[in-house]
Amino acid sequence: MAGELVLLDFWPSPFGMRSRIALAEKGIPYEYREEDLRNKSDLLLQMNPVHKKIPVLIHNGKPVCESVIQVQYIDEVWHDKAPLIPSDPYQRAVARFWVDFIDKKIYELGSKIWKTKGEEQANAKKEFIECLKLLEGELGDKTYFGGESLGYVDVALVPFYSWFYAYEKCGDFSIEAECPKMIAWVKRCMQKESVAKSLPDQEKVYEFILQLKKVFGIE
């Protein structure tokens, strides 16, 4: 069942982090391969010819692309340990809805925060906080989105925490001040080894963003 498992990834990618967390939660050994996105490997281009993007999970030579699909695949194949996706079909549908919401909103809005200025940035910040507040509503009083244990929505969302410091510095705002429940949830997640080990240091991510800004000529 384990076979050969390779993850093609890039250290600051929140999408790659999702798969890292899922694999760590289930204690599955795998080979992590860092990709240089300016010089993509032949393997990456072969395994993801459509998008040429990371992360790619390669299991016994067969690729699984798209982070949310990887997390589902990992959960299905290694279903006996630390289940991430709810077993009840309706709860599953609710979880999938929120993961879809996160995918549609968080990355794009976050990108706008560090890439833009003025009114565009202000609008992005406003919408970003509104989205986090909606997610806080969904979390409610639960320890995790998954209830008592880490679940699909937790795994999909928590990687973005590693970018929060960069968003805050670029956007000159405090996410904790606006969404304290969200940060409290993040801190609970970060106490888990699977999460803490899968997320890079926030300062490192901020330095990376500063580099990107230079490269793209963004002030």
Partner 1 sequence: MAVVKLFGAWLSPYCYRVIWALKLKGIAYEYIEEDLSNKSPLLLQYNPIHKKIPVLLHDDKPICESTVILRYIDEIWPQNPLLPADPHERAVALFWIKFADDKSPLISKLFRTDGEEQQAVAKECFEMLEVLEEHALIGGKKFFGGDEINMVDIAFCSVAHWLGVIEDFAGLKIFEPHKFPRLNSWIQNFKSVPVIKDNLPDTDKMLALLKRRREMLLASKSS
One-letter amino acid of 91? Q
Binding residues for partner 1 restricted to 185-214, rule: CB under 8 A: none
Q: Cα 69 from chain centroid?
A: 13
Query: Containing H/E element for 109?
Result: helix 89-115
Nearest to 35 by CA among 10, 18, 52: 10
Least CB distance to partner 1 at residue 50 (A): 6
Q: Quick one: which of 27, 49, 147, 180 contacts partner 1 (CB under 8 A)? A: 49
Q: Quick one: which of 3, 38, 62, 172 contacts partner 1 (CB under 8 A)? A: 62
3 state DSSP class of 52: coil
Residue 7 engages partner 1 in binding (rule: CB under 8 A)? no
Residue 2 engages partner 1 in binding (rule: CB under 8 A)? no
Strand ranges (E), 66-214: none
Tell me which stretch binds partner 1 (CB under 8 A): 29-37, 72-80, 120-128, 186-194.
72-80
Residue 177 engages partner 1 in binding (rule: CB under 8 A)? no
Tell me which stretch binds partner 1 (CB under 8 A): 13-21, 73-81, 139-147, 188-196.
73-81
Rank residues 34 and 100 by Cβ distance to partner 1 and give the closer one. Answer: 100
DSSP string, 174-202: -HHHH-HHHHHHHHHHHTSHHHHTTSPPH
Residue 66 engages partner 1 in binding (rule: CB under 8 A)? yes
Least CB distance to partner 1 at residue 91 (A): 10
How far apart are alpha carbons 74 and 22 in whole angstroms?
7
Residues 6+ apart with CB under 8 A from 77: 1, 59
Q: Where along the sequence are the contacts to partner 1 (CB under 8 A)?
A: 49-50, 59, 62, 64-66, 68-70, 72-73, 76-77, 89-90, 92-93, 96-97, 100-101, 134
